[in-house]
């Protein structure tokens, strides 16, 4: 009885601590939450920064492109006005490596770091792909306990594959509840013991039964990256991607705590310049190749950006990339509140959008908006 009571008190204390932080800092996440977390730097190295080219002439896209905003505003508004309408803080349109449109709002500019939220999830998946390319992971079909033996004693977890984590078909229970202070989502975001939190998770159904998008899957992928490379997730991001893609500035990854047990919030919370996130998109636009260097295999990129509905995976989501309609062959990384890295290979266009606390539940709306913009790009 004493043991049970002690466990209940400890659980309540942990929840109360995270509840306090949730309420203190506003509950709903925001772009500047990273200031409340410890950070780990991801160096951009000494490689010459890659710069997107300026346009040959000024096109004035901010006024000449219109967006019909059926969902929130029934009138046709200019692209510039559209930015203000939805609390956008950064917006870029890049075609053929030419930066045709770049606008910032509030106190943001081209040198300001923006927070990715779940837009970082495809970066984690890319590190998994690189680990497979390099033989650090034998196959995505491997059981996760091959790389995380501390999970061996958990009933049924030997049936969870790396692919199940990539596809969000692991069957691991995870509560979202729109950031209820007591949900797993809030605990993962505000909590300070992610390693234990993940270790305490349990199955709600067998793997390959249902698709259930959740941050626990990506957190486990991050722990696998940490284990197979025997270094922090940030160090692996630095050596495999950030130092190779001509990034303009270091990135910073939020941690759950400041001591030696601190681990990156692998499901979110990478801070970097909008233009540097665009370079990650450019890597995928060029099928994993960066200026002649095959950073991640073409096979991995092509698989990740096309549907694979087997094992109850979603048709429109794969390896943490959103998949657009088949007609357009588009794909995208998406984060809370409409963070978007939208890639349209047919026309060699990328759209980067960051914002805060609005339109989080309208992914189809954003895709429709981007297609409107891309259609109008034919005139320029």
Give the number of other CB atoms < 10 A from CB of residue 289: 17
Count of residues making up the chain? 380
Assess contact for 309 and 315: CB atoms under 8 A: yes
Instruction: Kindly report the backbone phi and psi dihedral angles of residue 168, in degrees, each rounded to the nearest multiple of 5, phi listed first.
Output: 60, 40
**Cα separation of the two ends of the chain:** 73
Q: Give 108-126 pLDDT, tens digit per residue.
A: 999 999 999 999 999 999 9
Residue-wise pLDDT for 314-326, tens only, equals: 889 999 999 988 7
Any domain includes 8 = no
Task: Give me the CATH number covering residue 257.
Answer: 3.40.710.10
Q: What pLDDT does 68 receive?
A: 82
142 assigned to some structural domain: yes
Residue 371: both structure tokens together: 């297609």
Over the stretch 201-224, which tens digit does the pLDDT of each residue have? 999 999 999 999 999 999 999 999
Q: Give the pLDDT confidence of 158-191 residue by residue, as tens digits.
A: 999 999 999 999 999 998 766 566 788 888 999 8
Output the six-digit token pair for 345.
């290979």
Distance CA 330, CA 328 (A): 5
Residue 46 inside a domain? The answer is yes
Classify residue 172: in a domain, yes or no.
yes
Q: Which of 201, 168, 174 is nearest to 319 (CA)?
A: 168
Residue 146 lies in a domain: yes
pLDDT of residue 75: 64
Q: Which domain holds residue 340?
A: 29-379
Q: Is 4's pLDDT higher than 60?
A: no
Is 6 part of a structural domain of the chain?
A: no
Cα separations (Å) of 293 from 73, 226, 244, 290? 45, 24, 9, 5
What's residue 14's pLDDT?
42
**Domains held by the chain: number:** 1
Q: What is the mean pLDDT of residues 10-26?
A: 46
Q: Which residue has the higher pLDDT, 2 or 19?
A: 19
Is 39 part of a structural domain of the chain?
yes
pLDDT of residue 70 exceeding 80, the answer is: no
Closest Cα to residue 234, out of 119, 127, 113? 127
């Amino acid at each position: 009885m004493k043991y049970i009571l002690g466990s209940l008190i400890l659980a309540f204390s942990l929840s109360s601590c995270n509840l306090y932080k949730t309420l203190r800092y506003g509950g709903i996440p925001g772009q500047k939450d990273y200031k409340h977390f410890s950070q780990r730097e991801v160096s951009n190295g000494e490689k010459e920064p890659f710069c997107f080219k300026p346009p040959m002439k000024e096109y004035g896209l901010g006024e000449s492109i219109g967006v019909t905003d059926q969902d929130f505003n029934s009138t046709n508004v200019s692209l510039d006005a559209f930015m203000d309408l939805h609390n956008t803080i950064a917006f870029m349109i890049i075609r053929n490596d030419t930066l045709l449109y770049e606008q910032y709002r509030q106190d943001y500019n081209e040198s300001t770091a923006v927070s990715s939220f779940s837009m970082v999830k495809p970066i984690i998946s890319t590190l998994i792909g690189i680990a497979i390319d390099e033989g650090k992971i034998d196959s995505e079909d491997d059981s996760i306990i091959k790389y995380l033996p501390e999970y061996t004693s958990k009933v049924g977890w030997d049936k969870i594959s790396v692919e199940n984590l990539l596809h969000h078909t692991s069957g691991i229970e995870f509560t979202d509840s729109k950031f209820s202070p007591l949900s797993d989502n809030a605990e993962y975001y505000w909590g300070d013991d992610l390693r234990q939190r993940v270790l305490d998770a349990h199955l709600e159904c067998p793997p390959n039964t249902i698709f259930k998008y959740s941050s626990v899957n990506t957190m486990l992928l991050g722990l696998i990256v940490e284990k197979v490379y025997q270094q922090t997730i940030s160090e692996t991001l630095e050596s495999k991607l950030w130092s190779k893609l001509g990034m303009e500035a270091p990135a910073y990854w939020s941690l759950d705590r400041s001591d030696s047990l601190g681990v990156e919030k692998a499901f979110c919370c990478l801070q970097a310049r909008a233009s540097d996130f665009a370079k990650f998109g450019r890597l995928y636009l060029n099928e994993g190749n960066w200026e002649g260097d095959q950073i991640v295999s073409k096979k991995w990129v092509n698989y990740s950006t096309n549907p694979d509905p087997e094992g109850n995976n979603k048709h429109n989501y794969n390896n943490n990339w959103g998949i657009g309609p088949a007609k357009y062959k588009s794909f995208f990384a998406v984060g809370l509140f409409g963070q978007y890295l939208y890639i349209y290979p047919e026309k060699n266009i990328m759209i980067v959008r960051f914002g805060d606390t609005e339109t989080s539940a309208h992914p189809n709306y954003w895709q429709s908006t981007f297609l409107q913009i891309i259609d109008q790009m034919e005139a320029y």
